[in-house]
Amino acid sequence: MRAMKALVLERDKELRFTDVPDLVRPGPGWARIRIALSGICNSDIHRGFGGGAYRYPLVMGHEFSGLVEEPAAGGKVPRGARVTVFPLIPCRRCVPCQTGDFAQCTDYDYLGSRRDGAFAEAVWAPDENLFVLPEATSLRDAALTEPCAVALHGVSKLAIRPGDAGAVFGAGPIGNMAAQWMRLRGCAEVFVVDIDGTKLDLAAADQHLYAAKEAGRNRVQGERRAADPLRRKVSTGRPDRGTTGAARPSRPAPKV
């Protein structure tokens, strides 16, 4: 039997980079993906160091990109294709699945959580979960597709109109991506709010976002058009999770 390298969570707070038996194809509709890059989600921290794993041993990793090494039998994605993968594997039998609400599946599987994932040389995934990358998209960028989709889901709940101003509270990876989606959806300006200077520096690197921190206080101030209520002053406590809002001064700001 072939072996491959993997980062194995053997028990809470104990990871080991070791050889593991190569995985057997779960079914004819599954493709083998040679992992290119895999991100570390905040849920991986809780799963690996907070007792949050479903089982041990476990290979984590659900944000990743790679190359199709062995295509699925009768699948649509060919050998050698550059892909990213939707990590949730729905049962396709329950009521939510029958109505197309796969994220609400009552008996789902999940790469890197309920099933071994991408902190390894390779992983098997259903052909229907594969997304072939556009030529201009790098494998590095593609590894962020899953968290980027999370941010898009939140921003899609906002009624953004062209020219709106917006604010994102919490400048972590999801918050930063949400801010960029708000710009793409039409916000003229987006302010990113946090008390962590490092995160704000990252947000400020994008010339289309505004980030500021008043040293020693949980308060940020927009530096432009102080008469605008949104830009005048925003106060916040510790932003453990990013939230977003976008509005004109004449209407309330929705939140996600």
**Predicted structure pTM score:** 0.79
Looking at the structure, tell me whether residues 200 and 135 fall in a common domain.
no
* Structure letter (DSSP) for residue 102: G
Domain count, the chain: 2
> Higher-confidence residue: 234 or 149?
149
Provide the 10 A C-beta neighbour count for residue 185.
18
Looking at the structure, tell me whether residues 103 and 131 fall in a common domain.
yes
> Which long-range CB contacts under 8 A does 134-139 form with residues at least 24 apart?
137/82, 139/36, 139/37, 139/65, 139/66, 139/82
Does residue 252 lie within any of the structural domains? no
pLDDT band at 238 (very low <50, low <70, confident <90, very high): very low
Q: What is the mean pLDDT of residues 127-142?
A: 97
Looking at the structure, tell me whether residues 66 and 9 fall in a common domain.
yes
Domain boundary pick from 139, 165, 186: 139
pLDDT tens, 25-72?
999 999 999 999 999 999 999 999 999 999 999 999 999 999 999 999
Q: What is the mean pLDDT of residues 231-256?
A: 42
**Quick check: 233 pLDDT over 70?**
no
Domain boundary pick from 139, 165, 192: 139
pLDDT at 225: 38
Does residue 30 lie within any of the structural domains? yes
Structural domain of 201 = 150-247
